[in-house]
Amino acid sequence: MTLKNKKVQLSFGFEKSGRLTSAFLLCSAFFLSDCSRTKPNLEECSDAQIHISKLIANDETMEKGVQALMLRSILKPETSEAIIRSCVENKSLLQVQCELSKEKFGDLQECKKHAPKRAETEG
């Protein structure tokens, strides 16, 4: 065993630390790339959609008929899938995190300030 291998063995407690170091660097790269992420992923958008559904269901200011219609509409599998896909493509991570933090349906409007800016040529 060389001096270098012995030093690595002592600091990590593993003789084959090359794999451990590689795994650590790979995990670090994923973590750091995640920090610079600006778009939500499928799971975050799915969680947001479920949270918004709960906010609608618990909103006491909304008429029951409107509430039922909204819930029936957004909970249909094909509509739900489209909402989640649209979220991933069109919302910012900050917007989704904002939505998840709200406790009332009416407060969701505040989260639109975190929406990605659209190019003037779109539309």
* pLDDT at residue 119, as a whole number: 52
Other CB atoms within 10 A of residue 40 CB = 25
Per residue in 67-76, pLDDT tens?
999 999 999 9
* pLDDT at residue 10, as a whole number: 47
Per residue in 83-120, pLDDT tens?
999 999 999 999 999 999 999 999 999 999 999 987 54
pLDDT band at 37 (very low <50, low <70, confident <90, very high): confident
Per residue in 38-81, pLDDT tens?
999 999 999 999 999 999 999 999 999 999 999 999 999 999 99
| Distances 48 to 37, 70, 78 between C-alpha atoms, Å | 17, 16, 17
Dmax (CA) for the chain in angstroms is 76
pLDDT band at 122 (very low <50, low <70, confident <90, very high): very low
3-state percent helix, strand, coil for the chain, nearest multiple of 5: 75, 0, 25
